Amino acid sequence: MTSIALLCMILLLLTWNLHMVSDLPDERILVVTTINVLADIARQIGGERVYVRSIVTGMENPHTYSLKPSDKLLLKEADIYVEIGKPLEGFRDELLSGIDLSKKHIITCLKLPGIVILPGGNPHIWLDPRNALIIAKAIRDQLIQLDPEHSDYYELRYQEFERRIFNLRRYIGSRAKDIAGKGIILAAPAPEPLAIYMNLTVVDVLIKTPGRQPTPKEVALIEEKIREGKVRALVEVAVLKIPVMRRISEDTGIPTVKFTPLLMPERGICDYFDLLRYDVDVLVDALEYTGRSISQAEDVNQLTMLILLAVSICEALSLLYLGVRLLVRR
C-alpha cells in the first residue's frame, strides 16, 4: 500500500469518526468502561440509546496502561462507569481521583452478586460466559434506572444477549468435550477463567504478577513439568511479550498459541462472542495438535500498526470533540 493510499485511508477514518460523534443525539447515555470487552457488552445492551467509550482500547495492557488527560475528561462526563475492579485496572485510583462520583452510576463487576471468581482472585472474569451475562444484566438495570421510558428496549436487547450466551455455552461444550482434563501452561493468568470453564487443567502460570519476567529458576520448573508429560500446550497472551515462551516451546516440542483477553478488531475479533469463540478454538486446536510448534496469531505487521495509529488519532479527535460539545451544553 502506497503512502498516498494510506494517507487517504487515515483521512477517511478521521472524517467518518468525527461525523459519527457529531451526529450523536444529546439524550444518549454516556457509558465509559475501562476495557473494550465491557464497552461491547454495554453497546449490545444499550444499542442506539447509548454512547460508549472504552479507556483501554485493545492493544494496551490494563494492568500497566498509562492514563491520558482525555480519559479523566471522559469519566467526568460519564453517566455510567463500568470497571472490572482491583486488581485488574492498575490505573483505577489515578482515574477516579478528583472525580465527583456521587451522581454517577458505577458498576464494579468483581462485586456483582453471583460472579464466579476463581480461587486466588483472578480478575479476568469476563472470560467465563456466565459472568458476561451477569455483567450484561447489571448494565441493563442501570440503563433502565436512568432511562425508564425505554425499559422494554433494554430488556429485549438483554434477552437477545442471554440467548447468544446460551448458544455460546453450547458451542464451548461441544468444542471442549474431547479435551477435558488436558494440561496447559499459561504465560500469564488471563486465560485461566476460560480454561477452567472448559475443564482444562492449568498446570502452572509462568508470570503470576504483572510487569515482570520469569526467573531462570521459574523457567526450569516449567520445563520440568513439561517433561513429566503433564502439559499439551503453552498459552501466550497477545498483549504481552514473553520471548522465553517460544524458547520453552522449541526446547520441549510443546506447541505455543496466542490467546487474546480483549477485543482485537484488526484480527476480526469485534465483539464478545467473536472473542470467546476465537479463544476456545485456539485452545482446542492446540490441544488436538500433535506436531512440534504452532502459532494461531502472527504479530501485527507494520501496515496494521499504521492502521491502529490512524484509529488512535480518530479516537483522540472524537474525544476532543466530545469534550468541547459537553462544555458547550453546560
Q: What pLDDT score does 329 carry?
A: 53
Q: What is the CATH number of domain 179-299?
A: 3.40.50.1980
Question: b/e string for 267-291 if b means 16 or more Cβ within 10 A?
Answer: bebebbbbbbebbbebbbbbbeeee
State residue 317's pLDDT score.
Answer: 67
DSSP state of 138: H
pLDDT at 314: 60
Closest CA to 52 of 89, 76, 73, 79: 79
Are 41 and 90 a contacting pair, CB within 8 Å? no
Determine the pLDDT at residue 325: 58
Contact assessment for residue 240 and residue 187, using Cβ atoms and an 8 Å cutoff: yes
Residue type, 258: K
Compute the residue count for the chain: 330
**pLDDT of the chain along its 330 residues, tens only?**
455 545 545 544 444 444 444 444 468 999 999 999 999 999 999 999 999 999 998 778 999 999 999 999 999 999 999 999 999 999 999 999 999 999 899 999 999 999 999 999 999 999 999 999 999 999 999 999 999 999 999 999 999 999 999 999 999 999 999 999 999 999 999 999 999 999 999 999 998 887 788 889 999 999 999 999 989 999 999 988 888 998 999 999 999 999 999 999 988 999 999 999 999 999 999 998 644 333 333 333 344 345 445 555 665 566 566 655 555 555
User: What's the rounded Cα separation, in Å, for the pair 137 and 154?
Assistant: 10
Task: Kindly list the domain boundaries of the chain, sorted by start residue.
Answer: 29-172, 179-299
Q: Residue type at 190?
A: A
Using alpha carbons, list the distances in angstroms from residue 211 to 37, 92, 217, 247. Answer: 22, 16, 18, 20
What distance in Å separates the CA atoms of residue 27 and residue 115, rounded to the nearest whole number? 31
> Cell 494440561, residue?
183
CATH class of 29-172: alpha beta
What pLDDT is recorded for position 293? 37
Quote the strand ranges of 165-306, DSSP E: 183-186, 201-205, 233-237, 256-259
Let me know if the fold of 29-172 is the same as that of 179-299.
yes
- 17's enclosing H/E stretch is helix 3-22
- Supply the DSSP symbol for 272: H
| pLDDT at res. 263 | 96
What is the structure's pLDDT at 18?
A: 44
Task: Write down the pLDDT at residue 240.
Answer: 86
Q: Where are the beta strands (DSSP E) in the chain?
A: 29-35, 50-56, 80-83, 105-108, 183-186, 201-205, 233-237, 256-259
CA pair distance 42, 80, nearest whole angstrom: 10
Amino acid identity, residue 167? Answer: N
Q: Which amino acid is at 272?
A: Y
